[in-house]
Structure 1
Amino acid sequence: MSPTETAAGHGTGAGTADWYRHFGTVDAPGSSACYAEWSVGVAGDPELILRIEQWPHHKRQPLLMLAAARFLGAEISPYPEFRAFLDAHWDDVSRIVLSRATQTNEAGRCATLLPSLAQIAAAEGRPLALLELGASAGLNLFPDHYGYAFDAGGSQMTRIDPDGAPPGGFPVLRCAVTGPVPVPAGLPRVVWRAGIDLHPLDVRDADDVAWLEALIWPEQDFRRERLRQAISIAREHPPLLVAGDLNVQLEALAAQAPADAALVVFHSAVMPYLDAGGRSLFRSTVARLASGRGCHWLSNEGHGVMMQADGSAVVEEMDADRLRGRFLLLHNSRPTAITGPHGQSLEWL
């Protein structure tokens, strides 16, 4: 998932229109001119807003509707043509929206997590056991299988490749870095990887793979290519993915991690899908896990990325204007960096 998948918005009527307008004017520009135009068009289309209002609140988010249309074959086009496509396929769009979720599995986020993962491995003097919450198809569980290009501007580029991997056999994750980012000299060793998702996606299932591709924004072919490369790696090394509520499954799954590995529990754009009570319970669960089995906790979340029905927000540690659609990365509740939602940038604090 990503912060742009759940731009601020709440309630009914004007609230839903504001949600789409925010996505079209704040989140999408610079990343997808098509999604920007479509979302602004939806925001100014009262009849379409009324249709969207028929869905449950958590199903009205812009990217879910747009991805459903793309999954069904909507091409890049001016808004009137997109509106005609929706009219012709509305029943199917609704079916996809109600049966699917925004499970964007952006491997690029590994670039913003890697410095923290390498620091943890170095400090612990042990290999890592990775446990991702909201894992989708588990593609972010392979940071040791990807290549990286950290760009500090000018000629300051640091390239890290996985040992022994053939050129072209792995995605290269490019990330613009600012501040004293602790770029590692190499990749940490990972000996165990697992994830939890309400509905895990299977990289061997054609429909699930098509849905992952539909969640990528129309013009971003480079993301589509690295998704395909990451899927190839996951097919060769299937991770352990458990279906269920993260608050129910976390401790039991963590108990399966090797005792001689440093356990890292991490998530990106997952907290918006929990209400205030669920997030409070999650904090208690992680605290109990840390004091018992022991773990590190990496939280990579946006600020108020989706206004909950109860009015609660997600991250309170950083001013929203500074984030502006980006994530705040925390290590054991301490803010360490501001990150691009798709892993494209890393600003160390």
Structure 2
Amino acid sequence: MSLDEIKQGLRAFAAGRAAGVSPLYEHLAERAAEDDEVAGLLTPGADPALLLAAAHRLIQADPVHPLSRYYPSLSGFDGVDGGTWPTFREFLLERADRVRALVSTREIVSNEVRRATGLYPAVGMAAKAAGGKVGLLEVGCGAGLLLGLDRFGYRYQCAGGEQITAGPAKTPVGLHCALDLGEGAKLPKMAKKVAVGARVGLDRAPIDATDEEELAWLEACVWADQLDRIRLLRVAATAQRKDPPELVAGDGVDDLEATASRIPAELPLVVLTCRALGHLGPGRAEDFVATLGKLAAERPLWWVSDEPYEVALSQVLPLRDELAFWGEAGSCTLGLVRWQDGVPDAAALAHTAKYGDRMTWLAH
């Protein structure tokens, strides 16, 4: 990949992912795309967001630098102005070796805690059908924060002012989500609580959120002007330390059966994937679903997926092309699948927003 292609990636990031979402990151990516030295800090093929995450991590480590004035995550309150780019550019180029080290050894990791608002209703439905405690297994778990979804409190704000609450009344992690109804849909019956008997995460590079350096990188991957996301990440990570899940390093397909065996055989299994299957590689989603089918022959199993339709649910619920358009806006389709006598029984439950703050429940 040439420098021109790196710069084009930065322009696409600014115009697509950051536009209208993060004025700071949109501005910085636009200017970086016109600067050979700054753009050249990116490794060919790297996600453009890595440059901004690296900068975020380095300013975390040097919060007295004038650049911090533009970072709300560091209590900065200056909006984008004529000094933003020059200060940013100077800061990065003075630390060029450290930036290159981060960009070449790290990757963008998203443990978006609020995405539990989409997973929870489906997990509740699975747990109700199971009739007791379930074992949670998340594939592509990162730091495994979503494995604590039964310990979070939920408030779903419905049209007309109605609210649906779920989860424990006293919890440090409180999540809010706007809940709309699709055509012909009715409000879901939300489980008040979910009983979890075991929780295990599988990831090719699991993250130890008790390690402050690893947690700091997770925070650095969150955009610096999205304070609520950072707050929820930190609160959930702190809460997790009281009873951490078991995290296993391995492949999401090849090591799935062995990882599932770590959950007691008497527990029905609920497998979670949240925007993870696309990272398995071409054709691997089919192998993943086939492996779930094998596991379902051994014990009751439900698959809860918050993924683009064409990546995940299309494997077991074909010919629903109307669901495929949602991923373009960062939204995904919430699916619930159970295998009956070797045959998957699948339902598309909802569309979920990129950061879990909105969900559209579907008729099914």
Q: Is the pair's TM-score, using the shorter chain for normalization, greater than 0.5?
A: yes
Deviations 1:53-73 (A, max 9, x none): x43x3xx11322211210111
Q: Answer yes or no: is 1:178 the counterpart of 2:180.
A: yes
What is the letter of the counterpart of residue 345 of structure 1? R
Unmatched 5+ stretches in structure 2: 60-66, 71-79, 312-319, 338-345
TM-score normalised to structure 2 length = 0.80
Q: Answer yes or no: is 1:34 the counterpart of 2:34.
A: no
What is the DSSP-based 3-state SS (H/G/I as helix, E as strand, rest coil) of the residue aligned with 1:72? Answer: helix
Q: Answer yes or no: is 1:70 the counterpart of 2:70.
A: no
**Bigger shift: residues 184-193 or 154-163:** 154-163
Distance (Å, rounded) in 2 between the aligned partners of 1:174 and 1:39 = 30
- Displacement after TM superposition at 1:125 (Å): 1.5
Distance (Å, rounded) in 2 between the aligned partners of 1:293 and 1:12 = 51
What is the letter of the counterpart of residue 67 of structure 1? A
Deviations 1:86-113 (A, max 9, x none): 2222221121122222222121111111
- Displacement after TM superposition at 1:276 (Å): 0.6
Q: Which has the larger radius of gyration?
A: 2
Deviations 1:299-331 (A, max 9, x none): 2224799xxxxxxxxx97734367412222222
Match of 1:104 in 2: 110
Distance change in 2, residues 1:256/1:211 (3 Å): same
Q: Is the 8 A contact 2:6 2:39 kept in 1?
A: yes
Q: Answer yes or no: is 1:145 the counterpart of 2:158.
A: no
What is the DSSP-based 3-state SS (H/G/I as helix, E as strand, rest coil) of the residue aligned with 2:188? Answer: coil
Match of 1:291 in 2: 297
Distance (Å, rounded) in 2 between the aligned partners of 1:316 and 1:87 = 47
Match of 1:219 in 2: 225
Q: Is the 8 A contact 1:194 1:241 kept in 2?
A: yes
Distance (Å, rounded) in 1 between the aligned partners of 2:327 and 2:354 = 14
Q: Is the 8 A contact 1:108 1:343 kept in 2?
A: yes
1:336 is aligned, of 349, 353, 356, to 349
Q: Is the 8 A contact 1:110 1:343 kept in 2?
A: yes
Q: Is the 8 A contact 1:136 1:199 kept in 2?
A: yes
Distance change in 2, residues 1:101/1:316 (3 Å): farther
Q: Is the 8 A contact 2:252 2:280 kept in 1?
A: no
- Displacement after TM superposition at 1:85 (Å): 2.5
Distance (Å, rounded) in 2 between the aligned partners of 1:90 and 1:130 = 42
- Displacement after TM superposition at 1:240 (Å): 0.4
What is the letter of the counterpart of residue 281 of structure 2? D
Distance (Å, rounded) in 2 between the aligned partners of 1:242 and 1:296 = 20
What is the letter of the counterpart of residue 157 of structure 1? Q
Q: Is the 8 A contact 1:330 1:337 kept in 2?
A: yes
- Displacement after TM superposition at 1:230 (Å): 0.7
What is the letter of the counterpart of residue 341 of structure 1? K
Q: Is the 8 A contact 1:17 1:42 kept in 2?
A: yes
- Displacement after TM superposition at 1:39 (Å): 2.3
Distance (Å, rounded) in 2 between the aligned partners of 1:322 and 1:273 = 15
Distance (Å, rounded) in 1 between the aligned partners of 2:287 and 2:5 = 28
Distance change in 2, residues 1:50/1:208 (3 Å): closer
Q: Is the 8 A contact 1:299 1:330 kept in 2?
A: yes
What is the DSSP-based 3-state SS (H/G/I as helix, E as strand, rest coil) of the residue aligned with 2:262? Answer: coil
What is the DSSP-based 3-state SS (H/G/I as helix, E as strand, rest coil) of the residue aligned with 1:238? Answer: coil
Distance (Å, rounded) in 2 between the aligned partners of 1:341 and 1:215 = 15
Q: Is the 8 A contact 1:24 1:39 kept in 2?
A: yes
What is the DSSP-based 3-state SS (H/G/I as helix, E as strand, rest coil) of the residue aligned with 1:261? Answer: coil
Q: Is the 8 A contact 2:157 2:163 kept in 1?
A: yes
What is the letter of the counterpart of residue 82 of structure 1? F
Match of 1:274 in 2: 280
Distance (Å, rounded) in 2 between the aligned partners of 1:19 and 1:84 = 22
**What percentage of aligned pairs have identical amino acids?**
33
**Paired residue total:** 322
Distance (Å, rounded) in 1 between the aligned partners of 2:308 and 2:48 = 16
2:268 is aligned, of 262, 266, 270, to 262
Match of 2:130 in 1: 124
Distance change in 2, residues 1:14/1:183 (3 Å): farther
Distance change in 2, residues 1:174/1:22 (3 Å): farther
Q: Answer yes or no: is 1:320 the counterpart of 2:325.
A: yes
Distance change in 2, residues 1:17/1:272 (3 Å): farther
Q: Where do 1:201-212 residues align within 5 Å?
A: 201-212=207-218
What is the letter of the counterpart of residue 99 of structure 2? V
Q: Is the 8 A contact 2:309 2:327 kept in 1?
A: no
Unmatched 5+ stretches in structure 1: 1-10, 306-314
Calculate the aligned-residue CA RMSD, in Å.
2.6
Q: Is the 8 A contact 2:138 2:200 kept in 1?
A: yes
